[in-house]
Structure formats: structure tokens, C-alpha cells
Structure 1
Amino acid sequence: MTRAAAPTRFANPLDLAYAVQDQSFGPFRRRVNREAADPSVVLFRDRFYLFASMSGGFWHSEDLAGWEFMPTPELPVYDYAPDVRVIDDRVVMCASRRSSPASFYHSEDPLGGRWTEIPGTRGFWDPHLFQDDDGRVYLYQGCSSRTPIDAVEVDRSTFAPLEEPIPVISSDISTRGWERRGESYDASTIRDHPLLKWRLGTGPYIEGPWMTKHDGVYYLQYSAPGTRLNTYADGYYVGKSPLGPFEYAPSSPFSLKPGGFITGAGHGSTFQDRHGNWWHAASMRISVNDIFERRIGIFPAGFDADGTLFSCQEFADYPIRMPDGPAEPRSLVGSSMLLSHGAAVTATSSLAGHGPELITNEDVRDWWVAGSSRSGERLELTLPEGCLVDSIQVNLAEHRWEESKPRPRRKDQVVRLWQRRSLHADPLSTPFLLEGSTDGQTWTVIADTRLDDASRSHAYFPLEQPQALRSVRLTGYEQPYGSPFAVSALRVFGRGAEPLPSPRIGQPERLGPTDVRVTWNHVGDTHGYNVRWGLAPDKLYSCWQVRDTASLDVGALTAGVAYWVAVDSFNTGGVTRGEPVAVEPWPLR
């Protein structure tokens, strides 16, 4: 029988019970959607703790795959970018609050719900605490298009500043292409309202600091250019002390995911598991129902022999293996390939403009919607012959929930400026039945979420054993607020019968100080390409996944630096690595 197995893998975005945000902007606009972002992850007493914006609490896990939610009404859950670090063998949490002094909260027993407040002495935004090996503690903060990230040493017990903060990171879009605003670095895609420009500025947001110490070197990470963009990423500086001076790392951004099913990999945290393996958690964007409609991703990461920080994002939304010991980060991704892209799919009914073909186009930002809200609406996907399936991911969508969800009472809303918000962290049942078939006639159950009443928005089901499936069927039942069944993707992973694709050689052409165009020969045995670049042939850590094209403009480079690029081709049978080609720096004038 085909059925889901105990998790030994996971897939991004993480399958969390994301809280529902109900936001009203005056009498004119209302948005209802799930949200979580700005993840801060630590390992404390052999358990992982994940705090994220607008979640109403935190998640905890033993293995990074199965997460349980813990509500924290005693913490400031409406304050963005909660930071969590282990300071003096206790979990310390703080979050963004500019208009008044922001408090700190600590606990030796987070699962017991016992937190102690330490009143703050100043306001800040995107805070981050770091304790050095000598016990001294530092606070980094900043989230602005106008002012830099700053740093200061703070008292070990009260977290009050011991001196005046010093600026440590500012934007520089003239030399750092990845900090430029715009979808795919295209400034013409920016259409901000004049009032928004006045309030937020027109430059990139430099935000989300996170400090990691490795082999005596301090890696101060930060994010740019903005959370609603596919290019939202994390870069870093290095220094020999917690307060610098810091030097920009031209291998930035080290966490970048501008292509694939779900994009964005910014405002994150870098941490180790119990085996010493490094991981990087980051925000991933949807930004359709609301610009802050976001999810959480976790990626294998590490430091190479030269101390270069990197994160593995070539197949960052494909299955990721959880190691049971020390592992080479890149060995944890790419073992399962996507089988469902472009596959034939039918539906019992569809809302106009939301046809079933959208579940196989590899874009989380659009979705199929059933033509009614009745239980039993169904999708059926037919795979190519010869597919061996090892896992399936079901990605649900929130389609116009504001039309069916009752408005919250005013007393249950938080009011800030012109916005009213209520946060609903109570689990929402999203029942569906997932089945597989070898012949399209006889069906066996893979997963039935009607049995656990769980809130599954990006459910991932590894199979006990790989199965030679020909069809996959998904049936929805009564959805939250009586809304119609909506699915952004039904993603099937494993291996196909195709031989490995032909190798490609990318031809780079410099377009400017921070831009390069890479072209290659497109052949029909390939489903997609990973364009990789970096500072040396063995340091091609940055990656942009594309399909159905033979060129890509990469605008993420650092001016004055020589690069190498390679184009890898992939299909259901696996990946063929491309040969690295040198990219000379743009001539300085």
C-alpha cells in the first residue's frame, strides 16, 4: 500500500500552522491571509525553537521536520521580527518596537510558558542579540532604507546599552547589485504610491542583522533589498571583533533564491544542529493577498575551507534530507527531482481564471480554485510513464478569504496608525484526501488530513518506499471559513525514466559593473537550468533556477570583482553539471 512515512526529509516552504492575519486599512481595504517571516532559530537543550513574525507564539522541533506550535500570549506577538538567542543558558527573546522602549523576555523553560520580562531602555527595529565566548553580549538592530544597521555592547543581565551604538552596515547599490530594488533587479517594476515613497524611502531596506562566530571570525549577516521581492536575500560582512571594523564579503549574497516554485531567502538566521551541521532559515515570499504574505524556509548551509559562508539553494524547494550525523551540506539536496511540472491535470470544476493547469506551473503565486465550496472538489494529475515517486507536497492557497471570513470585533483588533489587525493562531482545519494509483483506476491512500484535524498549508508526505505511480488524486473537503478548495501546487517528487540531460556551456556577457547576461543552447531533453556563479570554479554558491529559456540576466554581482558562472541542466532523471566559465570585471573608468 502507498502511504506517507515518518519524516526523514522535509520540503520548503515549511509545513507550519501559519497564523491568519486579518487586516483592515480604513474602510477601503481588507486582507485575510497566512503570514510568517523573519525566522529566528536556536538549538536549546537538544530542541529547536523557531520564532517568526506574526505567529502568536513559537514552534519547537526535535528534528527540523516535525514542528509543534506553542502559543505565547505573554509575549509581544504583534511586534515584528522576533529575535531569539541563548544567553547564559536561557532563551532570550526581543522584537521590534520603535515608538517606545522594547522589552526583553527570558526563560529557562519555554515549553512551560514561564517568561520573565526585562524592561527595555530604548526602541529598536529588527533586533538581534549575540553572546561572545567571553560572555559579553551585543545588540545589533536596524531596518530602514535611510539609516544603517548599528551595534552596541549591552549589559549581560539588563541588556541596557553600555555605550552609544555605532553604525556598521549601510547600503551601496552602486557596487552591490543584489541590494538594488525591483523584481529581478528591474527598477521599472517598482510602482510605489507617492505617500509610500515619502514614508519608506526609495532605497533598499537594509535589515535583519544576525551574528555568527566561526573559527574566530565574526560574520555579521543582513538582508536586502525588500521582503516582497523575489531577490530578497542575505549577505554578510566579516570582522575580528563583535563591533568590527567589518569588511564586506564579495561572495554576498550567500542566501539567494530568485527563481523556482517559491522565491526569496532573506532576513534569516544561521544555526547548527546537534551534529554540528549548519543551517540557514529565511523568509520566502508569496506577496499576492498582501505584500507581507510570506512563509519560512530552512536550507543546508556551511563554511568552506576558506571561511566563505554559503547556503545550498540550487533545489531549495525540493526535498531536503535530514542527516543523522555530520554531513556535507550539498549532499542533502538534489536526490529527488520534480516529476509533476507541466503534467496533465483535470479538475471537477474551476473558477474562471484559476484553472487546474496552474498547479503544475511551478509558481506559488497563482492557484487553482474549485468552482464551488462543496466538499468533494477534486484534482487528478497524470505523470509521465516510468516515474518512481518518493514524496508529494500539497500546497494550499487562501483565495479571497476576506469575502467569507467574519470580520473580527473591534475589541479584538490591534490598532496602529491607519491599520487594524487581528492575529488568529488557532489551528484551522484544512481537510483533504491524497491518493495514488498505478493505473488510474485503483487508488490507495497516501494521506488523509481529515483524521488529524490539522492546519496544513504546505503538507509534505514522503512515502515509505518509492512507488511507480501513474496518477495522483487530491480531494478537498470543507475548508476554512467555507471558502472554496484552492491549491497553488501539487508537487510530485522522485525520479523519472529520462536519461541525464545534455551538458551546457554558459556564455557570459558583461552588461555593467554588477550585471552579466548568461546565454546557453536550449535542448529539448532539459526541463530547467540552475545558473550558478561565484568567486572561483569551486565556489559557485549562488544560484538562480529558470525554465523554458536560454538566457538569464544576473544583476546580483559586486562591482570590480571577477566571477565564474556555470549552467547546470536538469530533468526528471537528474542533473548534469555545466563547465564553469570566467567573467571578467567590468572595466573601471
Structure 2
Amino acid sequence: MRFLFSFFLLIGILLFGIQPAVGQQKPSVARPSVARTYCNPMDISYRYNFEQLNEKISYRSGADPVIINHKNEYYLFVTIQGGWWHSKDLVNWRYIVPDKWPMEDMCAPAALSVRDTMYLFQSTFEQRPIFYSTEPEKGKLKFLNRWMPRLPKDIGPWDPALFHDDDTDKWYMYWGSSNVYPLFGAELDKKRNLTYAGNNPAESYKAMLWLDPYKHGWERFGPNHSDPFKPFMEGAWMTKYKGTYYLQYSAPGTEYNVYGNGTYVSKDPLGPFEYAPYNPIAYKPGGFATGCGHGNTFQDNFGNYWNTGTTWIGHNWGMERRIVMNPAGFDKDNQLFVNTRFGDFPHYLATKAGQNSDELFTGWMLLSYRKPAVASSTFKASAVDSLSADKTTDENPRTFWVAAQNKPGETLTLDLGAERDVRAVQVDYIDYRQTIYDSDSTVYTQFKILTSTDNKKWTVVADLTDTAERKEPKRDRACAYMELEKPARARYVRYEHGYVAGSHLAINAFRVFGNGLGKAPATPASLTVKRQKDQRNADLSWSKVPGAVGYNIRWGIAPDKLYQTYQFWNDQPNTFELRALNVGVPYYFAIEAFDENGVSTLSNVIDDGSGLGKK
């Protein structure tokens, strides 16, 4: 999260599975499922918070996530949430309010687990403490120090990251959030309770790296890197792998679809650092949940790597956001990468060490894109507002349906066009003309999901209402994701409203996942790539496949390193200017088509036509 001198831009998958019912009239039982799948954006209880009082805009948001593995359990920290979340399985997350908290809520917090202790520090330009806890599951916090010494004006530490080098038993902090200053780094002194090493704090830190948008196309500002405004760098994180230090950062701005994570590498924790050959490491500019910058990299209990990030909503305010998590890893050349292919479709959680990140994709396709939707009622805001039901299937988080009244029984019904095997549903809410500024016991979510083959006889397949046998407390679910215990053969899928806090029921996405009963689409033909004179850009075109829902353009720095994905819908143009490339680096491209039945085979890999790979 970046700091602007005029104001602070304060303010970041998980599923809670629900078992389906059997039969038509008997309500289903809502209970935690086996930890199998998740879907971005994360299904956590995003909070309303105090910052909105300043703008008089009410919305739930979450950004700048850090997930740490502490004693084989997981803790999630997010900007301005009044606490954190605890999970034993990366699926079911319990919100925790700490017994101590700093002078104000934490923005872009730094969290770290070392042996039996968790450490926590907030973004600040003032003197603030570092906390520690040996019982974070109980919300217990203690002061490690009473404050970090003040640094020179505007230096920070904002967007901090704490790092402990297990091999040397040395401690470090990295930070930065600016389009003026670099990322900084400093060694910390454990004997002084992790204050800056050395006698003069003003001389204890140094620059680690700067943005270079003239060489790194993905660091340019704006949607699809099209704005000449100077970009922002933020979100430091450090990972050590096989003796190499990977200093990660985010750019170019949280309010754009191209918000991503990059990395520099060094053999020393304070540098000098070199730009990694493959960058950005995490990038998701297309689809529903666009952007994945400003997060962290962590390992699960099997040793597999994951990368968290911030995805953009941006309806009520530019800083309205949600949280994502994507599988990550290191390849045979020790290159850090993050897999965002189908990044907002359901994925499996890892069940063993060394799982290939592509294997974690369930293969459950989006069945609801542009499908007809009928609502029981629609709120009439004005002659210019379009709040109709069809907005819930366009995969745009900034368009939405609003019911005439926020009352139980309102429905939203999708016609999938033919019978499909429905495997999961995601209901994404948005705040429309709300006046809620705090998440209390009145803020929770209730609804039912029903399916039908004929639009007459309906079966309840998920139930989050008071009629269900509930074994967990009510909670708010702005991005409610439910995996069904077994496929439900259906043509129609219905949302039946129970309760949301506030004056309006507003849904920006009713997403249905599963599989059609046909064959996967053909492989797209005629992919062409032409690198421009400005090597940061390339012109792409391809031939459309009849019946396809969309395409994934995949690219990378070698034919076997196609780690990047840009998703396009079939009703979008089949030409595109890609502006995310690095100067002097050869690239290789391929394409695949997808529809409701599956994914085509990948096309032949071609180079970018620049000749750089032959020099």
C-alpha cells in the first residue's frame, strides 16, 4: 500500500465449504467440508473499518496480505482489519481480535514466525512498537520494544517486511511505499529488541532497489501500463532459497489490473541486488480478480510455496480491494514464479510436497459467463444506473445487480443453457450506498443455493441460513465460495437471499463452476507475435475458435518457462498490445482456448520475432 503525501491510501482463498442437501424440501446442512478447493478472491470476513468515516463511503475491503506458517498453522494479516485470521488448513479462517493493538489499526503489517514466536509490526512514519506473541491463536500480544527509533522524514518504515536469516541468526527489515524513494533495507539488532543495528538510525539503512519502467514494461503505471504517471513501488518481502535472497516488491499501482510482484536477487541480504531474468513473478491482468500485487511468499505444511496478493474492486473508491492466493515455486534454474493461470477459478489445495502448480487447477470451468440472469426484483436508482441481473455474469467486479429491497426471499436465477455438472458456486457481494462503518455482530451473510433441470423442481445444494444445522458462528462472506460434495446435474442455478447487513442487497458476480458434457475446444490457430521497436511492447493476434468462452495467452523467457498468463474472453477483440515485457529479454508465446467443457491443447510455442534469443 503506498503513501501519498496528500493522504494515506490505507486500507487484503479461501473457502468455507458447504455440504449439499439431499432431496427437494429438506434444508441442507451447512458444515465445514473436507479441505479440498478454494477460489479467488479469498472467502474471509472482510471488514468495514474506520478509514471510511473520513471519506463517508461505506465498503468492505482488504489489501496487502501476509500469510505466515506458525507452528504448522496459518495466520493472515491484512490492512486495517482490527485483528487477524487463524486457520489450520488454509480453508476455514477464524477471525481473532487481539488483546493489545497499537495507537491505530495496522496498515500493511509485517508478520514473521521464528521458532515458537510470532512477530508483528505496522507501517509507520512515527515511533511504533514491534509486538510478539507465543499464543497468536488466542490474540495474545506483548511488546518486544516500545518503539522503533524515528527515521528521517518520509523514509518510513512504510510497508515493512521482517526477515530472519536462519543460517546466520541475523534479523533484517525491508520497506518502502513511494514513487519517489526506493525500497530500503536495514539490519536489526536482536540484543536491542530488534531496533536498528548501529548507533545512528538515520545511517543504519540503505537503498536496495529502484523501479526502472524504461526497461521493465510491467512497472509502467495505469491500466495495461498505459499511463505516463510515475509508478509506485511498495510491498517488500524477502524469501531465501538455496543460498539466494529474493527481495520481492510490487508495482505499478494497486488500483490497476496489472498490479503485480517482482523480485531482485542477491547472495547477501543487503545486496547488491540484481533484477531477476523472469519478471514480474506474479501477474494477472485478465479475468474477474485482476491484479495480484503486494502480498508475500510462504510455505504450506508440505513445503509447497504460495504467493498472496491484492486484487482490485474499485467501485466505491480506488482502494476498494480483496485478497488472492496463488501457487508459487522455484524452477530447475531457481527462478521464483507464481502460477496465475485460471487464477480466479477453483483450485485444489496441495496434499503432498512438490505438487506441480498446474496440477492444482481443478479443471472446473466457468459455466456462468454472460448467461441469462433473472432477478425477483431490481432497484430503480435513476435513469442512468444499470443495476440489472445480467451484470452478475459479465465477470466485471464493478458492475452489479441490486435488489429492490434487502429482504429474505429475493432471488437471482441463472440459465446455463443446457444441463451441466455444477461443482462449485461463488457469490460476490459489493457495497452499494451503504452506511456501515464497523463490522459488528449484525454484519453477516445468509443465503441458499438451489439447482434445477427444468426451472420448476428445485433442490437445495447449499444453505447458509438459520434453517441449516449450523456448527459455526455466523460470519460475513463478501466472496462466498462453496464447493459441492458431489456434482449437481443442473441447467438452472438460483441464489435465494437470506440476509446481508445494510440497506441494499447488491451482487457483482454469481459465478458457477463445473463442466459441460461435450468436448474441449480446438486449439487456436494463427497466433502471431511481433515485438515493437520499443521492446517493452509486442503486438499479438490469433484466430478465434467457434464456441470458445475465452483464451489464455501464455508467455515466458524460454519455451519451457511460459509462466505468464493473460486471459481474454471470446467476445473481446483477438488483437492486443502487450506492454509488460523487459528490454533485452527474448520471449516465447503460446495460446490455449477454453470453454465450459475444458481447455484445448496448447498451441506450438513461437518466439517474439525480435531475434534477441539468437544473439
Common fold by TM > 0.5:
yes
Question: For 1:41, which of 67, 75, 86 is the aligned residue?
Answer: 67
CA contact (8 A) 2:231 2:251 kept: yes
In structure 2, distance between residues paired with 1:536 and 1:135: 37
In structure 1, distance between residues paired with 2:257 and 2:136: 34
After superposition, the C-alpha distances for 1:22-55 in whole angstroms (9 at most, x for unaligned) are: 54677xx521100111111111111001101011
2:13 aligns with none
Q: Match of 1:114, SS?
A: coil
Assess, with a 3 A threshold, how the Cα gap between structure 1 residues 586 and 579 changes in structure 2: closer, same or farther: closer
Q: Match of 1:84, SS?
A: strand
Query: Which residues of 2 match residues 39-118 of structure 1 at below 5 A?
Result: 39-72=65-98, 74-76=100-102, 78-98=105-125, 100-117=126-143, 118=145
Shift of residue 73, structure 1, vs aligned partner: 5.4
CA contact (8 A) 2:434 2:504 kept: no
Shift of residue 374, structure 1, vs aligned partner: 3.1
Unaligned runs of 5+ in 1: 189-201, 406-421
Assess, with a 3 A threshold, how the Cα gap between structure 1 residues 434 and 24 changes in structure 2: closer, same or farther: closer
Query: What count of residue pairs does the alignment treat as equivalent?
Result: 553
2:408 aligns with 375
Query: Which residues of 2 match residues 532-551 of structure 1 at below 5 A?
Result: 532-547=554-569, 548=571, 549-551=573-575
Shift of residue 439, structure 1, vs aligned partner: 2.3
After superposition, the C-alpha distances for 1:173-205 in whole angstroms (9 at most, x for unaligned) are: 1001111111111217xxxxxxxxxxxxx4111
Question: For 1:337, which of 351, 365, 381 is the aligned residue?
Answer: 365
In structure 1, distance between residues paired with 2:521 and 2:233: 40
In structure 1, distance between residues paired with 2:441 and 2:187: 38
In structure 1, distance between residues paired with 2:302 and 2:440: 32
Amino acid at match of 1:135: D
Q: Match of 1:86, SS?
A: strand
Unaligned runs of 5+ in 2: 1-21, 151-155, 199-203, 381-385
2:246 aligns with 219
CA contact (8 A) 2:588 2:605 kept: yes
Q: Match of 2:590, SS?
A: strand
CA contact (8 A) 1:345 1:380 kept: yes
Question: For 1:579, which of 584, 604, 607 is the aligned residue?
Answer: 604
CA contact (8 A) 2:99 2:140 kept: no
Which sits farther off after the overlay, 112-121 or 101-110? Answer: 112-121
Please state if 1:130 is matched with 2:156.
Answer: no
1:566 aligns with 590
After superposition, the C-alpha distances for 1:536-569 in whole angstroms (9 at most, x for unaligned) are: 1110111111112312221111011100111111
2:179 aligns with 145
Question: For 2:337, which of 307, 310, 334 is the aligned residue?
Answer: 310
1:19 aligns with 47
CA contact (8 A) 1:208 1:222 kept: yes
Shift of residue 325, structure 1, vs aligned partner: 1.1
Please state if 1:462 is matched with 2:462.
Answer: no
Query: Which residues of 2 match residues 224-303 of structure 1 at below 5 A?
Result: 224-303=251-330
Shift of residue 427, structure 1, vs aligned partner: 6.4
Shift of residue 479, structure 1, vs aligned partner: 2.6
Please state if 1:521 is matched with 2:548.
Answer: no
Q: Match of 2:59, SS?
A: strand
In structure 2, distance between residues paired with 1:58 and 1:213: 25
Amino acid at match of 2:95: F
In structure 2, distance between residues paired with 1:423 and 1:221: 33
In structure 2, distance between residues paired with 1:477 and 1:256: 36
1:419 aligns with none
Shift of residue 487, structure 1, vs aligned partner: 0.9
CA contact (8 A) 2:364 2:513 kept: yes
CA contact (8 A) 2:223 2:257 kept: yes
Amino acid at match of 1:341: Y
Amino acid at match of 2:565: C
In structure 2, distance between residues paired with 1:115 and 1:249: 37
In structure 2, distance between residues paired with 1:254 and 1:574: 26
Q: Match of 2:236, SS?
A: strand
1:435 aligns with 450
2:207 aligns with 167
Amino acid at match of 2:554: R
1:484 aligns with 504
In structure 1, distance between residues paired with 2:609 and 2:180: 32
Q: Match of 1:34, SS?
A: coil
Q: Match of 1:111, SS?
A: helix
Q: Match of 1:210, SS?
A: strand
After superposition, the C-alpha distances for 1:284-313 in whole angstroms (9 at most, x for unaligned) are: 110111111111111111111111111110
After superposition, the C-alpha distances for 1:322-344 in whole angstroms (9 at most, x for unaligned) are: 12212111110151111111112
After superposition, the C-alpha distances for 1:467-513 in whole angstroms (9 at most, x for unaligned) are: 211111112134312x2211111111111123221212420122322
CA contact (8 A) 2:376 2:411 kept: yes
Aligned-residue RMSD, C-alpha: 1.9
In structure 2, distance between residues paired with 1:74 and 1:203: 38
Question: For 1:176, which of 197, 204, 216 is the aligned residue?
Answer: 216
In structure 1, distance between residues paired with 2:588 and 2:441: 48
2:578 aligns with 554
CA contact (8 A) 2:523 2:545 kept: no
In structure 1, distance between residues paired with 2:128 and 2:442: 29
Q: Identity, % of aligned pairs?
A: 35
Assess, with a 3 A threshold, how the Cα gap between structure 1 residues 426 and 172 changes in structure 2: closer, same or farther: farther
2:383 aligns with none
In structure 2, distance between residues paired with 1:184 and 1:245: 30
CA contact (8 A) 1:562 1:585 kept: yes
Q: Which stretches of structure 1, 4 residues or more, deviate above 6 A after TM superposition?
A: none
Q: Match of 2:195, SS?
A: coil
Amino acid at match of 1:480: A
1:194 aligns with none
Shift of residue 363, structure 1, vs aligned partner: 1.3
Shift of residue 316, structure 1, vs aligned partner: 0.6
Which sits farther off after the overlay, 53-62 or 501-510? Answer: 501-510
Assess, with a 3 A threshold, how the Cα gap between structure 1 residues 497 and 344 changes in structure 2: closer, same or farther: same
Q: Match of 2:257, SS?
A: coil
Provide TM-score, normalisation by structure 1: 0.90
Question: For 2:394, which of 361, 368, 376 is the aligned residue?
Answer: 361
In structure 2, distance between residues paired with 1:36 and 1:72: 18
Please state if 1:397 is matched with 2:430.
Answer: yes
Q: Match of 2:255, SS?
A: coil
After superposition, the C-alpha distances for 1:72-101 in whole angstroms (9 at most, x for unaligned) are: 252236231011101343100001011x11
In structure 1, distance between residues paired with 2:295 and 2:407: 40
CA contact (8 A) 1:559 1:585 kept: no
Which sits farther off after the overlay, 118-127 or 134-143? Answer: 118-127
In structure 1, distance between residues paired with 2:279 and 2:361: 21
Shift of residue 387, structure 1, vs aligned partner: 1.1
Assess, with a 3 A threshold, how the Cα gap between structure 1 residues 559 and 286 changes in structure 2: closer, same or farther: same
CA contact (8 A) 1:71 1:425 kept: no
In structure 2, distance between residues paired with 1:110 and 1:55: 16
